Structure 1
């Protein structure tokens, strides 16, 4: 409990505009103070209704952020519930989202340096191009893909920030996006990755940036699969209607995969628990990883313990211990969390689409067919990362 509280205090110290809310006893959530999000078409009506507390308005990518005057001390959860009552408006607090594993009520697993891994190889030519979007901390250069045209097109805009607080230590979740990119490529070597940075190296972001990224992807229109290895619990345990609209805007041709979360609970974790999203839990061998969320809303599971993948290069301030430097990373690491089970599934879907020459939705149906694959109660269909499709690689 002390460790959990300490992690929460670090989050709140680094994000002073955040607060813990507990509209339902024993089911806390994190929100930005004095902010509500409104779907674009409802912005004018919502602004009129909150005018007495209104401070400013920001519109971007089909979502509006309304800031409220701090002295008014408005309960943004109560206000959102009032404005959405009866389905009148699409309004939600601006929930904080957190990358998994460093989630304040879950385990605090850290990456560990690992030996180099062979780059994934395409066994047969893909029958179609497939793009996987990764909403995360960004993407650092790596030998696996540094010279790929898709990476050169976005390199500067998606670069990971490794030490934002300048303490000469790798931020808690720096490298998270780069790690996930490697997991995807291990399953789909021919995939083109498109990164969008929505959380910082501390693993913390907010719903607004996720919505903006989803709306941008919808306008871009070229993502076959979207991997979201982050999320949140909401104040009312219901999906944010504003986020739900952003997911829907991607259209039926795009498959969204999200991690189920690391709080070892059956409490819905969003956006994974949304019906259009493939929610992925973590396995430890043949069993559920102790930290993995689970429940009726989880669709699939994959290995999430001691996963090996690509990582950033960084030498921290700690010295070697018995000849081993615990914070010297040279491009590879092992890590645990549902964050790293989700891209196994996303990558497998992308790999199947490329190999079979089918759209992502058809590929997802094949990968997640319960009639052809084993399934576990409250964890869904088992996706075995060791069992390749026609385009699979060999990877330790």
Structure 2
């Protein structure tokens, strides 16, 4: 095991795309992320149509955050003891199956079905992401971790551009059943691609450290949090997730109330965030192996804070939508740097036998942080106002950057194994 400062010593490496198995995994991610964005756009609209209230929509977002919190101990044990490839395939098949009840949704009386689907999707998803993040280093090697994480993140942004608008169109011309069936197909295709990954000691071996009685007693989320590098990364990520939760609720109010934009402007500014992220993802996909992950995380968190502060305070000078389009596009670059850097640091700082637990703990922190941010924004937006709360949100990102510099740059200390 290594500490965070020495975790990313670089050796000769190229892009993760040079690894054939990774190319299959990447394609699987692109297919499933596109399907996810279909549903991500369609489900909140359906909830709003059926419930007739923003409260119902906010409740749907909070439901999605509950499984990563409640299931974190189970996720840690499963992803540490079973093949990561197997966990991913079962999770995707589970997500495909649990979308089928949406075929029965037609009116308000079936709203509980929608909520049930949201919970089921998030439950299986809670297993998928830690397994995928734990699998990547064994698939491409730690020296290509930055490249692999950036390219995996690129899938989400490509999926947003393709699946986001398509989800709205399909819902408008068809129904939630149409969207559900296409998303089911995307999961099946992605699962088949992951299943085609080579069966080897790298992708299918059960780590011996966690198959023993001793490992079963000492593994899991709590054990992961006793390791300082993991705990430090969880703390930094949780604070950033609080800021992200605030943003999810306040963004629409900023566009419509602060800069006086309309619904089209909301869609434009939400979409352009993918532009900078795609550029950064492509660049890191090629050059990521040559860049220190710690430096990447620190630069990303600092630049993200600066652009966030500029974005909210520019409203005192101008309400021109093109200005904010540039700012929101630019912020995608440090977002990719920060995400890829943090993920790579955690992959380096933990060994394969407990990497699933570490990412389960990270998912727990992200879910708790977003829940705090979403709840706070929902309760405080009206009495305090949008812009003051966005200044708090920018402050949360500033705190994230400070914590990253203080915690992630600590001196050598080995992770317990």
Whether these two folds match at TM > 0.5 is no
- TM-score with structure 2 setting the length: 0.27
The structure whose residues are more often helix, as a share, is 2
Higher RCO, Cα 8 Å, sep 6+: 2
